[in-house]
Amino acid sequence: MSSREIYTDRRTAGLLLLPTILVSLVFLYYPAARAARRALYSSQLGLDDEFVGFENFAELLTSGGYRSRLLLTVGFAAVVVAGVMAVALLLTFLVHEVGTGKSIYLVAAIWPYALPPAVAALVFIFLVHPTLGVLSGPLATLGVDLDWFADGRQAFVVVTVAAIWKQIGYNVIFMIASMNNIPETLTETARLDGVGRLRRLLWVYVPIMTPTLFFLVILNTIYAFFGTFAFIDIMTGGGPSGATNILIFDLYQEAFDFFNWGLASAKSVVLFAVVGVLMYVQFRLTDKYSHYGA
């Protein structure tokens, strides 16, 4: 018994835990279980529920459309994660290195954390609107003809940039904490050895920051898979012709546009598996690298 466990009355403890457990059971565990069960039924609008076993999952596995959307989502996540982490790492390093005005620069770097995705999406549409956008003219003189309402590849790029922009602040928050933890002596040694700034970042700081960077890879992947729904819904609606139809938007459409609840539930279960695997990887990596200080 640790010295902190000063109370023993189990009824009070139960009362203290009850609200959290109740809400978790009713609104988190129960819906999850219900989705798992429902995924085994075919339930289209107007038809009676019929037990179909793993037919929904088999349908997803063999559907070329779903597989290509899965690939698209993985690609989208890879670009978002790599992009946001590269930008945030450089920005964090600049803030870390600067002498005066550090706290002002830090706020200017982390503010997108507060940026609502819906706002980010709308502002971006306006910025690069093919006919009205502020940047469309300048980009055209550079030889980039913006046509992302019709051009799938351009739409993918625009959505990706907007999603990266919104996530910079969150990454800087964690990176600056980790970078500030690096012992000053190490920085001094590197300086005396004549190691340049960029090499110091890449070969001294980044290895020490590994645990934080892994943690961020997982968080950013979850963000790319799920947190970007508003961007897709507002900016492209999954189009043009499926070019930005990532899994979370596909799931939404399956349920609320096609009312195919059985298949939608199966898709929920697939996404749950994605989160599960990511969390498991994070857990294992945190374990493995926890001896690296921080």
Partner 1 sequence: MLGLIQYPARLLRATRRQTAALALPDRRDLEAIGLHLLLVGSVLLIVFPILVAAIVSTKQTGIVTSLADLAPGGHVVENYRTVLVDYQFGRFMLNSFLMATVIVIGKLALSIFAATAIVYYDLPYKDLLFLFILFTLLLPVPVRFIPLFQLVADMGWTNSMLAITVPYLASATTVFILRQHFLSIPSSIVETAKLDGVGPLKFMAFVLLPMSKGILVGVSVIMFVFAWNQYLWPLVIINAEADQVAQVGLALLEGDVVGGEVSWSLVMAGSMLTLLPPLLLLILFRKPLLQAFVIQQK
Helical spans, DSSP H, in 181-237: 184-192, 197-199, 206-208, 210-222, 229-231
Q: Does 268 bind partner 1 (CB under 8 A)?
A: yes
Containing 41, the helix (H) or strand (E) segment is strand 41-42
Instruction: Work out which of 45, 48, 64, 99 binds partner 1, going by CB under 8 A.
Output: 99
Instruction: Work out which of 151, 226, 242, 285 binds partner 1, going by CB under 8 A.
Output: 226
Instruction: Work out which of 27, 203, 258, 259 binds partner 1, going by CB under 8 A.
Output: 27
The interface with partner 1 within residues 28-87 (CB under 8 A) comprises 28-32, 34-35, 38
Q: Beta 50-51 vs 41-42: how paired, if at all?
A: antiparallel
Q: Does 177 bind partner 1 (CB under 8 A)?
A: yes
Angle at 54 between CA 64 and CA 30, to 5 degrees: 110
Instruction: Work out which of 61, 78, 82, 132 binds partner 1, going by CB under 8 A.
Output: 132
Q: Does 234 bind partner 1 (CB under 8 A)?
A: yes
Q: Does 137 bind partner 1 (CB under 8 A)?
A: yes
Nearest to 219 by CA among 261, 164, 282, 156: 282
Nearest to 97 by CA among 212, 204, 187: 187
The interface with partner 1 within residues 102-121 (CB under 8 A) comprises 105-120
Q: Pick the stretch among 47-55, 151-159, 201-209, 223-231 that binds partner 1 (CB under 8 A).
A: 223-231
Q: Pick the stretch among 47-55, 68-76, 182-190, 265-273 that binds partner 1 (CB under 8 A).
A: 265-273
Distance CA(39)–CA(33), nearest Å, equals: 10
Smallest distance from partner 1 to CB 250, Å: 12
Smallest distance from partner 1 to CB 71, Å: 19
Nearest to 264 by CA among 276, 247, 279, 246: 247
Nearest to 220 by CA among 267, 166, 268, 290: 166
Of 108 and 243, nearer to partner 1 (C-beta) is 108
Smallest distance from partner 1 to CB 156, Å: 19
